[in-house]
Amino acid sequence: MKNIWLIIKGIFMGVANIVPGLSGGTIAVSLGIYDDIIRSIATIKSEMKKSLRFFIPLLIGLLLGVALFSRMITYLFDFYPLVTAATFTGLILGGFPILWKEFRSSLYLQKKKINYSHWMIFLAMFVLVAWMGVAEVSGTSTHELSLELPTLFILFFIGIIASASMVIPGISGSLVMLILGWYQAFLAMINGFIDALRAVDINEILTFGIYCAFFGVGMLVGIAVISKLIDQMFRHFPSYTYAGIFGLVLASPIAIFSNLTLEASSFSIFTVLMSVLLAIVGFGLTYLLGNKSS
């Protein structure tokens, strides 16, 4: 049963990783498994069996989330932007009670009270994510995929950047790719590989498989390096780390809503009511899933 819950949570993280402005790390925080992810990555050599038992179902869910919902999420944000954004906002905010509890526990263990340093770190992280959300991306050029080495190496580094969305709450890898002009290429890579598998087109499978391999290796490298750093921060500066995470996560809804294209029809009574309802449902869902982890 525990593996099934991990697969479900992985699906949520996978969906989050393809939404500009949303971070898989944010959803991991909301679902109460963020600390487990960081510790499992940091101790994968010393506790490999335990780490793999945790990661394999989570990874299966994450890949399912990306593969099954990459087209659907684009459709939902295009045709139901307010409702979709409100739902994700509810999913994010549902994890706040558990995050607050962890923050209070870290203060208690360190025998500290909330001070100016906590507030400064919180504000710095909040401003960073809010700025990323409102950064102008409309004039950014869009890059194309090719099998040339420079493009493949860029995909490797884009993978490192994208890994931040899984490891650092609030930092949206999709949004960074959008700013850099690689988001459409990323979606083309994922959807192209899935379409090739469906059509059993060997040439296309190999072509898109190479793209995915360079991107995937970059993600693995980024996850390994960044998670080690965050693990050390949790060990030595837990309350300050949680303060930063609060800022990153709280600013995520700003990043999500700032990337919406809203029309007058988006604010009909039915749409607004549905948005509020789904935000409440999303809040309750992550709160319950987070408590399952706790």
Segment 124-155, tens digit of pLDDT: 988 887 876 666 544 444 577 888 888 899 88
| DSSP H or E stretch at residue 174 | helix 173-180
pLDDT at 223: 82
Residue that wins the pLDDT comparison between 88 and 181: 88
Spatial distance between the Cα atoms of 140 and 134, rounded to a whole number of angstroms: 14
Number of Cα atoms under 13 Å in the Cβ half of residue 206: 2
Specify the pTM. 0.67
pLDDT tier for residue 120 given thresholds of 50, 70 and 90: very high
What average pLDDT does range 160-168 have in this prediction?
A: 74
What does the pLDDT read at residue 140? 46
What does the alpha-carbon distance between residue 96 and residue 286 come to, in Å, rounded to a whole number? 10
What would the mean pLDDT of 226-255 be, rounded to a whole number? Answer: 83
How many residues are listed for the chain in this entry?
294
Kindly report the three-state secondary structure assignment for every residue of 86-151: HHHHHHHHCCHHHHHHHHHHHHHHHCCCCCHHHHHHHHHHHHHHHHHHHCCCCCCCCCCCCCCHHH
Report which residue type is found at 42.
A
Q: CA 34, CA 130: separation in Å to the nearest integer? A: 21
Q: Give the pLDDT score at 93.
A: 82
Over the chain, what is the mean pLDDT? 81
**Whose CA is closest to 18, among 80, 115, 88?**
88
pLDDT at 280 over 90: yes
40-50: pLDDT as tens digits: 877 777 788 88
C-alpha distances (whole Å) from 140 to each of 9, 149, 178, 184, 201 are 33, 23, 8, 11, 32
C-alpha to C-alpha distance for 82 and 290, rounded to whole angstroms? 25
Task: Report the pLDDT averaged over residues 156-174.
Answer: 75
pLDDT at 149: 87
236 Cβ contact partners less than 8 Å away, ≥ 6 residues apart: none
For 78-98, the pLDDT digits (tens) are: 788 888 888 888 877 887 887
At CB < 8 A and 24+ separation, what contacts does 180-187 make? 180/140, 181/140, 181/141, 181/142, 181/143, 182/143, 182/154, 182/158, 183/20, 184/142, 185/142, 185/143, 185/144, 185/145, 186/158, 186/162, 186/215, 187/18, 187/70, 187/74
Identify whether the C-beta of residue 132 lies closer than 8 Å to the C-beta of residue 253.
no
How far from chain centre, in Å, is Cα 229?
18
**Stretch 57-81: mean pLDDT:** 81
The Cα-based distances of 43 to 25, 26, 29, 46, 224 in angstroms read 18, 22, 19, 5, 10
